[in-house]
Amino acid sequence: MSLHPRRRAVAVQWPTMLWLTIVWVLLWGDLRLGNVLAGLAIAFAVTVLLPLPAVASGGRLRPFGLIRLVAHFARDLVVASVQVGVQAFRPGPPVSAVIGVRLRSSSDLYLTLTAELCSLVPGSIVVEAHRLTRTLYLHVLDVDTAGGIEAARQSVLDQEERVLRAIASDAQLAAAGLGPVPAANRKRGVTT
């Protein structure tokens, strides 16, 4: 039984088709009209024959939030990689922990994005995601490197906030208890 009874039979999913066409063109490395049309045809066939439930985001793309999210992610990826790399050569086993973090947003999409980004960056991987209580359980490799349990918890919440500020709508932000950024805090938000 499908979890998504609203799945429509023939609803053309333009974003998915666009993404599949881009992948096709990149794979061939050939931006000619014929190739793009072939990609479009295959993308259409894939979305019609193998439909997936549409992702209901209802969000709004904020360019500055997105830039901050990506820049922060790139920096975190380097820092986390070096930390884990150094940890690999350090004598003695790391002091690990499994912590539960209750997220503020109830959307599946933001839960997924936060979990995905947290797996890659702040010294943690997601062990279990509980959708009903919107709780992520993360394994922290080294508690001391992460700056303690509470700091690790806070970094997950910060990550979620950056995701929400990048793509969520005003209503979703308010529902998660994150109002629009006041002008005074905006500068501080960039540096944290």
Partner 1 sequence: MSWTTVADVVAAICLLGGSLLAFAAGVGLVRFPDLLARMHSATKPQVLGLILVLIGLALRLRNGPAVWMLVLVVAFQLLTSPVASHMVGRAGYRTGKVRSELLVVDELTADQNAAESEADARDAAPGL
Closer of 128 and 170 to partner 1 (Cβ): 128
Q: How far is the CB of 45 from partner 1 (least distance, A)?
A: 20
Alpha carbon distance 59, 10 (integer Å): 23
Q: How far is the CB of 85 from partner 1 (least distance, A)?
A: 3
Alpha carbon distance 137, 68 (integer Å): 25
- What distances in angstroms separate CA 108 from CA 90, 113, 133, 148, 169, one per listed residue? 38, 9, 11, 28, 15
Alpha carbon distance 130, 102 (integer Å): 9
Closer of 150 and 170 to partner 1 (Cβ): 150
| Beta bridge partner(s), residue 139 | 98, 125
Q: Catalog residues that contact partner 1 under the rule CB under 8 A.
A: 23, 26-30, 77-78, 80-89, 93-100, 115-117, 119-121, 123, 125-129, 135, 137, 139, 141, 143, 149
Closer of 32 and 186 to partner 1 (Cβ): 32
Closer of 17 and 118 to partner 1 (Cβ): 118
